[in-house]
């Protein structure tokens, strides 16, 4: 397999910025060579180019102006997971975190009686974003936790909700779930721009929009301010890590699935490099926010070393007790779980390495995209980590 050289990367970046995507793709394809399976795909292949695992296609829904509705939004450009003849079938506007083309129409997720899944909008000086908010039937005005979920590239709130089953958990345990939606005007592949310096800072760019959405919900609903968490997948996982670092006063806990640490990249070339081998820069920023990480050791899109770096960035003290256990999910997947506890015995970090898992949400539903159902249930484990301890 050929290696992508720096001049070729720079030229591909230039062509992409000029909108000459086909030429950029041809250049990258010629550099990477061909592959038929995830077992031989290059580690900087596009997001979700895994083919050896049981990955699934998305649900769809509807887009529209600001409104409240129990019907999911409809998006006409969802990715599909296909067995591809080449790992870089499509080049998007983000470095290697774009989805793959395709569309499968499925019935929307039913909303339980008394619950709502509605579209809202938030705007500030950085722009505006729509978001979906799930309000469980058990919410009757009491203070409840809030979870903000950041989708991956080419995904939508409805797709991400379906794949993670997070609305089902919210209905079961009574908490609010918000799904901010990246716009195609901000990123053609709907990736959160985790690799741009402006979008890594408090009070600027996309972090200010996500924080604004969170605060808007906290103003509109009664939310336990000490139990507000943010989680995401891939580009959304990287964005979640940024939110924990930029807003430790707003978010009590962070979940990063197949993502990268804050500051791993500041431009397109460094993003490709970080995805391939981890961040080369010194990640001096520390969040100190409770963090749970899920990553597959067969992830050939975002190297699992990035999960180690997320944990290192979240570690604010050196006197934590560390324990490691090995386990196997009901579906037969093996995993290693590392738990970091403080002197009071409270879990402050968890790191799940799922053996054999590629770039997919662990234990997700086939109703959504980029999931592997046999693996440990990342959604349920994250919710346990976020909300099981008493508020305050």
User: Averaged in consecutive runs of 10 residues, what is the pLDDT profile of the chain (392 residues)?
Assistant: 51 61 52 31 31 33 36 32 25 39 49 96 98 98 98 97 98 98 96 96 97 98 97 98 97 98 94 93 78 97 96 85 94 94 92 97 95 94 90 53
Within a domain: residue 150? yes
Within a domain: residue 156? yes
d(CA 228, CA 253): 7
Give the global pTM: 0.76
Within a domain: residue 72? no
- Domain residue limits at 305: 116-387
Within a domain: residue 126? yes
Question: For residue 140, what pLDDT is reported?
Answer: 97
Cα atoms in the Cβ-side hemisphere of radius 13 Å centred on 187: 30
Within a domain: residue 351? yes
Phi, psi of 17 (to 5 degrees): -65, -30
Question: For residue 232, what pLDDT is reported?
Answer: 98
Tokens read off for 379: 């959604």
Question: For residue 374, what pLDDT is reported?
Answer: 87
Find out whether 368 and 160 touch, Cβ atoms under 8 Å.
Answer: yes
Within a domain: residue 228? yes
CA 285 to chain centre: 20
How many structural domains is the chain composed of?
1
d(CA 360, CA 364): 8
Within a domain: residue 294? yes
Residue 65's contacts (CB-CB under 8 Å, 6 or more residues apart) are none
Question: For residue 62, what pLDDT is reported?
Answer: 34
CATH no. for residue 318? 3.40.50.1820
Within a domain: residue 347? yes
pLDDT digits (tens, 9 = 90+) for 54-71: 333 333 333 333 333 333
296 beta partners: 354
């Amino acid at each position: 397999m050929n290696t992508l050289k720096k001049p070729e990367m720079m030229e591909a970046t230039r062509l992409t910025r000029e909108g000459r995507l086909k030429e950029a793709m041809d250049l990258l394809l010629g550099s990477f060579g061909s592959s038929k399976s995830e077992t031989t795909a290059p580690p900087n292949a596009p997001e979700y180019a895994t083919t050896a695992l049981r990955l699934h296609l998305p649900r769809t829904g509807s887009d529209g102006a600001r409104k409240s509705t129990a019907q999911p939004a409809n998006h006409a450009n969802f990715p599909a997971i296909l067995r591809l003849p080449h790992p870089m079938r499509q080049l998007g506007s983000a470095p290697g975190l774009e989805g793959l083309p395709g569309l499968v129409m499925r019935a929307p997720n039913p909303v339980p009686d008394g619950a709502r899944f509605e579209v809202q909008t938030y705007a500030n000086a950085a722009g505006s974003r729509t978001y979906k908010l799930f309000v469980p039937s058990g919410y009757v005005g009491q203070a409840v936790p809030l979870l903000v979920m950041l989708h991956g590239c080419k995904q939508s709130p409805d797709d991400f909700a379906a794949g993670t089953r997070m609305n089902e958990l919210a209905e079961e345990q009574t908490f609010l779930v918000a799904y901010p939606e990246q716009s195609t005007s901000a990123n053609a592949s709907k990736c959160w721009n985790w690799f741009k310096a402006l979008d890594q800072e408090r009070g600027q760019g996309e972090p200010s929009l996500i924080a604004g959405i969170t605060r808007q919900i906290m103003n509109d609903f009664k939310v336990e301010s000490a139990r507000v968490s943010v989680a995401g997948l891939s580009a959304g996982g990287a964005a979640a890590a940024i939110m924990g670092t930029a807003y430790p006063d707003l978010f009590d806990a962070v979940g990063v699935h197949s993502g990268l640490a804050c500051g791993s990249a500041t431009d397109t070339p460094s993003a490709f490099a970080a995805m391939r081998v981890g961040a080369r820069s010194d990640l001096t920023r520390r969040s100190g926010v409770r963090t749970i990480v899920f990553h597959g050791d067969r992830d050939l899109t975002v190297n699992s070393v990035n999960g180690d770096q997320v944990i290192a960035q979240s570690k604010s003290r050196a006197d934590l007790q560390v324990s490691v256990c090995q386990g196997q999910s009901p579906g037969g997947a093996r995993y290693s779980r590392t738990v970091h506890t403080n002197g009071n015995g409270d879990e402050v970090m968890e790191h799940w390495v799922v053996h054999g898992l590629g770039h997919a949400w662990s234990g997700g539903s086939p109703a959504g995209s980029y999931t592997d159902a046999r693996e440990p249930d990342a959604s349920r484990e994250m919710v346990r980590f976020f909300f099981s301890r008493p508020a305050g």
